[in-house]
Amino acid sequence: MYKIFFRWTSLLSFLIVAAQCSSVEKKEGDPVSSLGENVFVFSPDMDMMEVQQLIDSIFEVQTKPESEFNENRFAFLFEPGQYSLDVKVGYYTQVLGLGQSPDDVVINGAVRAVSPPSHNGSVLINFWRSAENLSINPTVDSTNVWAVSQAAPMRRVHVRGNLRLHDYGAASGGFLADSKIDGVVDFGPQQQWFSRNSEWQSCTGGLWNIVSQGVLDAPKEDWPNRPYLSLDYTPLIREKPFWTQDALGELSLEIPTLKEKTNGVSWEDGYDPNSRKIALSDFYIAQPQHDNAESINSALNQGKNILFTPGIYWLENSIEVTQPGAVLIGMGLPSIIPESSKPVIKIADVADVTLSSILVDAGLVQTEQLIEIGEPGADSDHSEHPTSIYDVFVRVGGYHAGTSQNCVTINSNNVVVDHIWLWRADHGNGAGWDTNKAANGLTVNGDDVTIYGLFNEHYQEYQTIWNGENGRVYFYQCEMPYYVPSPDVWQNDGKNGFASYKVSEDVATHDVWGMGIYNVFFNSPAIVDWAIEAPEQLEQRFRHVTTIWLGGNEGSEVKSIINGKGDAVNKTNRKAIW
């Protein structure tokens, strides 16, 4: 047994003691006392100097270089009211307002992510953090800074000023949804960004693939002269669930209504009477110190939903979801890791399941897949009650030398995915061609699957394989694997390399909007014949595609964009479009 027990740093222990001796104290019997010592609930009547000191101390730990793959996990929950704070958000930190509307929680100051001091403005590895369901009244230059790359969503946020999505250095983000920006959104040097169902006054900047969907005042298109793709509406979405607190201090999770053809924010017209509310008492509150797959499955079988509190969960068996309508949600970006060859999460072919706000790390024993949605051959129609996936981040390597054949397999029909990052590590612990092995990030076998914001990169064969009918992807970001040992070991059915995105030959209908496929080929020259492989009749249904040669050895090349068509990218011609 290779299990690594969850460890707390000595500084973290100090912070907990300090919190218990201050106005941030957790009192026995509070509704949130069962959420664990790394969930901090703040109220407006607390001493803001003590709250600020606590936030600063945690940020200091969670922004150190070694914190990118540490084991600490935190959640900051803000009760309704006004706060004067600079909420700096480091690794594995989730900031949540508890109001019915984002405007119920007002942070006068900032909720910000910035470049670590050693990175000279770059935020290329500002991952794994989030801000949700609150409003920000920026007090410095009327601008809030959320300078991030992948796996750092901002949702259901009202910025009462400008929003800057960079820190004057390189950036490779990112995701914004259901948010209102009263001023200007500055993308700056962001290579790509996906915004959905939001509103802003105007925007500026961006390099290659800036996609806005259902965004009021989105930029006008001038492709390929400018990097913008703007789609008028979102065809089908149930906004991400959010936590609220009532007058008695009780927490509930609000499940918004499934809606069609929407634009703008969901919350400006007030409370949705058709939303579903789940009391905290209807959740099994999982704790990393003592829970396992057996205890979690027992709770699911009793009709409970699952709330994963902050920490690392090592599982010898799969979490098996068989009940329609079940909710599995994380708080404080918990990590779930398999200790066997079994998937971490298996969701049966049932309707209306919610999976949200978790990290999954591949284990040291290879799995066929880490998350399986629907059994092979699933054929039920879930169009009226689709399963929804939000902010799920999967890693192979980085934390340790994990391995998995495929990360996520979707067999069910009508699944809606709203922001996912599937990452085979290019740096960190256990990152190497023969170490963190993984062939594919995503395989879709179900029909009518829709993904908003698909980030999927560095896998050793196809990044994405799509076998189902009527698939739709809005925004795709991918880097092919960095360290291919040699061209002759990276071959596929007589072709050089593996396409980033493959649609099977027998698929009749498939649509993609806004693709950025990037290449950094080190070690030896790497050659890829096609960036996209798809049936010929679907070629024109790939819209606004960009391929970029970011760097690599002399002789490295992506020879075409799709099926041998479109320009090559290499050291001489670094950008091509479709």
Which amino acids are annotated catalytic?
A: 479
Let me know the angle formed at the C-alpha of 172 by 169 and 176, rounded to the nearest 5 degrees: 110
Alpha carbon 414 to chain centroid, angstroms: 20
Q: Give the whole-angstrom CA distance, residue 39 versus residue 79.
A: 13
Which residues, in sequence order, are CB contacts of 198 under 8 Å at separation 6+?
A: 176, 177, 178, 179, 180, 181, 212, 214, 215, 216, 264, 265
Query: How far is CA 139 from its chain centroid?
Result: 28
No. of helices (H) and no. of strands (E), the chain:
3, 45
DSSP element (H, E) containing 113: none
Under 8 Å between Cβ of 427 and 460:
no
The half-sphere exposure of 561 on its side-chain side, counting CA atoms within 13 A, is 19
Rounded to an integer, what distance in angstroms lies between the CA atom of residue 5 and that of residue 23? Answer: 31
Angle at 438 (CA atoms; ends 544, 347), nearest 5 degrees: 85
Q: Which of 494, 489, 558, 492 is nearest to 521 (CA)?
A: 558
What distance in Å separates the CA atoms of residue 190 and residue 210, rounded to the nearest whole number? Answer: 8
| C-alpha span between 38 and 31 (Å, rounded) | 15
d(CA 258, CA 540): 30
Q: Which amino acid is at 327?
A: V
Six-digit token string for 449: 């699957």
